[in-house]
Structure 1
């Protein structure tokens, strides 16, 4: 699965920031209660989750718990915890970090919803309700496709199941467009030639993709493009569990 630059940075931070923070705290580990370093690591998890997505936040939480155990609990520099209080602190650190990562992902979705008008919100709500109530993922995919044509003012839109083929231009999670993994100035240059890929993902996994054919000279706002991504993710959520997960 290919990620946006922001998500790649967040994943890197999820791996390295807890390690670096725990290392910095090593000289102070004998003079403070274990809960204090744990609180500092929680702050690191919050920062990573706010920067990235739920996957980065969860990875940061796991990394923080591991390095808290290794560097900051006795016996030091061993993956062993002998003190019950330290074990409880490590488990709470992991649990809090995982909860924060989910809240951060929801907050990113809510930020999109606060900047769109009532018509776009209605489409988001209708699609989410259909995804919850229908037993057919195809119905959700069809409805999302129609919404995408309307809000992005597309010439056409089709959905592809199965493995990723080729390397078309892609509409990213943050509403930007990349071509050959390089940012594309959509406002200045218009849509790139050919179809545009919009992936439907759930749980950090690829479920399928909408192939968008834009109308010449029509560039919707970034907020509208972010709504399109939200709708595609609703389709991905409906597909999750009905078909094998395929990572590109």
Structure 2
């Protein structure tokens, strides 16, 4: 979603509950407050589903305020006298925020699922190129590693010897990173940015040199493992083409 689209959704998330509550107030004789509350919950669900987490939270806050203003005594005032009305307003706000969090979690899971599918496709493509002995496999794997880890740069050096530069950070086969014998907490510190990160391509196959210096990158463990798996395809390609 574009920034303009997010802004539009957030504005609608604030305005829609007041419109719905105003209409419900006009129909107060035939529409109970509980029914109006359910409609407001639907508005929050729609905002959270079509927008982002902030849109859902704004809709929840606006729904609670609109319910208070149009549907509780005294009407057209943000004061609440009845205990049941207070409980309903609080429940409406709580449900709205909860729905927003659930919708946000669902979107994250969908994105993660899509990324995993892309990773698997990338590994399969690299494996196929390696099996075919394609001369483009080194460049393809280099580009894939850079995309998976969102690097500033990644280059393949067929003459580099793994471990020849002791101070250089190393991405190991298990997905961990160490530097000078100490493990790097990637989730907290991010990828080392003061030097290139060494990723061995396999036995006598050189190294991939990874650069992540312009900003802090915190790839997930599975992303690091995908990068390692991609790098390990190169020796197979070299043996096939030899």
Task: Flag structure 2 segments of 5+ consecutive residues without an equivalent.
Answer: 121-147, 150-175, 177-183, 198-209, 224-242
Alignment match, 2:188: 137
Q: Contact 1:141/1:159 (CA < 8 Å) preserved in 2?
A: no
Q: CA deviation at 1:118?
A: 5.4
Per the alignment, in what secondary structure is the counterpart of residue 31 of structure 1? coil
What is the CA–CA distance in structure 2 between the aligned matches of 1:104 and 1:91, rounded to whole Å?
20
* 1:110-152 Cα shifts (integer Å, max 9, x gaps): 121233345738x79xxxxx9xx9597323686xx98xxxxxx
Compared with structure 1, are the counterparts of its residues 74 and 8 closer, same or farther at alpha carbon in structure 2 (3 Å cutoff)? same
Aligned 8 A contact 1:74 1:82 in 2: yes
1:37-69 residue CA offsets vs partner (Å, 9 max, x unmatched)? 111000000000111111111111001000100
Higher strand content, 1 or 2: 1
Match of 1:18 in 2: 17
Preserved CA contact (<8 Å) 2:41 2:96: yes
Match of 1:110 in 2: 109
Residues in 1 aligned to 2:37 and 2:192: alpha-carbon distance in whole angstroms: 43
d(CA) in 1 for partners of 2:66, 2:78 = 9
The residue number in structure 1 matching 2:94 is 95
SS in 1 for 2:119: helix
The CA distance in 2 between the partners of 1:57 and 1:88, in whole Å, is: 20
Shift of 1:157: 4.8
CA distance in 1, matches of 2:6, 2:191: 27
1:202-221 paired onto structure 2 within 5 Å:
none
Show the counterpart of 2:124.
Answer: none
Alignment of 1:56-95 (within 5 A): 56-95=55-94
| Local SS of the residue matching 1:159 | coil
Task: Sort the Cα spacing of 1:113 and 1:135 in 2 relative to 1 into closer, same or farther, 3 A.
Answer: closer
CA distance in 1, matches of 2:57, 2:7: 14
Q: Which residue is equivalent to 1:159?
A: 214
Query: Is contact 1:11–1:59 with CA below 8 Å preserved after alignment?
Result: yes
Secondary structure of 1:115 counterpart: helix
Contact 2:24–2:31 (Cα < 8 Å) also in 1? no
Q: Deviations over 1:183-208 (max 9, x none)?
A: xxxxxxxxxxxxxxxxx9xxxxxxxx
Question: 1:137 & 1:67 partners in 2: Cα distance?
Answer: 42
Give the Cα–Cα distance (whole angstroms) in 1 for the partners of residues 188 and 101 of structure 2: 24
- Counterpart of 1:41 in structure 2 is 40
Change beyond 3 A, Cα 1:157–1:139: closer
Give SS of 1:74's match: coil
Unaligned runs of 5+ in 1: 125-129, 147-154, 162-199, 201-209, 211-226, 232-248
